[in-house]
Structure 1
Amino acid sequence: MISFRNVSKNYHAEGFTKHVFNSVSFDIARGDSIGICGANGAGKSTLMRLIAGIEQPSSGSVDRSMTTSWPIGYTSCIQGVLTGADNARFIARLYKRDEEEVLAYVEEFAQLGPYLYQQARTYSAGMMARLAFGISLPIEFDCYLVDEVTGAGDERFRAKSEQALLERRERASLVMISHDPHTLEQYCTRGAVLYAGNLTFYDSVAEACEVHHGLQMRGIT
């Protein structure tokens, strides 16, 4: 279980405070697959970082009894001065996995060829996303966080990515953000809409997407 209790998140700059969440409470249970809709700037990526523990709430609490991935597609987890291979080895050491097994998996899955042994800062955005996605998969988590990554790469890579995520959804929780309703419906059984600092859950992804569309048409973020 991942439990948010009265979580607020604020960012402070000189003469300005941005309120992202206002006393949000919800649970993510084992086996949940949740698709989250929200306008650009509504706080979707911030929410994923809070779930992952990358950021801490300004107030309230986030309690976890499940292991959680970093947001797949969140390429800030990749160190640009390291090669793709060294990034894979570092993640393996961090999670106490066999380095060569993880590297072999990433090499086969990400399909970066000789670029795997070049500094990651030389990668295109698509290559970086493929590396981040490939590094996430050899590590078993109780909850996977997915941030708009399944569009990276060619058709064969996308098909492989989709299959890998579907397999993990069968044995783990999944939280996904995407601007594509079809993608959310493909992976998720229920939806949520993030707007005005609140997260509202719905019984289906279709209902959540419909509400989100209506809010967008009315100009509400």
Structure 2
Amino acid sequence: MKHTMIRLMRAALVLLACTLTACATLPHPRPAFTPGATVTTLAATVSVSVRTPDGSTGGNGYLIYRQPDRFHLVMLTPFGTTAMEFFATDDRVTLMLPGKNVAYVGSFADLPAKGGMQGWKMMRQVVDGTPLLVPAERNRTEQVETGGRLTTLTYDGDGLLTRKQAADGEVSYRDYQSIDGVPFPAEIEFSDRQGVRVKMSFEDPDINKPVDDAALTPNLEGMTLLPLAAIKGM
């Protein structure tokens, strides 16, 4: 009887081990994506890290985006107060420092070359109209963007966009999730030819919900306005 119990216990342990091993090796099911779904608006908590040849920085905040070219990025201090707000509409840029009551206004071309500020121009590619899911694509394809800019798009075996490459840099998309059927990456990483790398991780993204103009428009009341090029003196 005793030997029988031991054999049964051993068999049960072997069965349990096999079950656990099988569970561990089973692939995660692919999220359900709606064919043709696109991202028109985005609101999400974000974590941002910037690495440049001069050093690195980063922080947490939130991002609001609306196609085709409007976004509002807020970076917070460790205490939860607003450290910086960055607005963009087309080529116009407004960078606000609420703690100093100062706002810098200009174009992307006016951003200082050092300190990682040029990395902010890559933020326009967070969701720039390129389809994130093209089921028919399985490798690389090319497209000519506005101004004749040639871009190479790389799609994985499911037709999800994983990389965009152009002469001035590239964008990588990772860890897709399904938000109401819309594919959206949990992490986007930008890099340019000057050695600037911006990594942005998203939490609790809201996709394709209404976004008011007020959320994308800087409130400059009481602010001292300076040209964006003057930010190098900070």
**Could you tell me the TM-score, scaled by structure 1's length?**
0.28
Structure with the larger RCO, 1 or 2 (CA within 8 Å, 6+ apart): 1
**Could you tell me the TM-score, scaled by structure 2's length?**
0.27
**Larger Cα Rg: Structure 1 or Structure 2?**
2
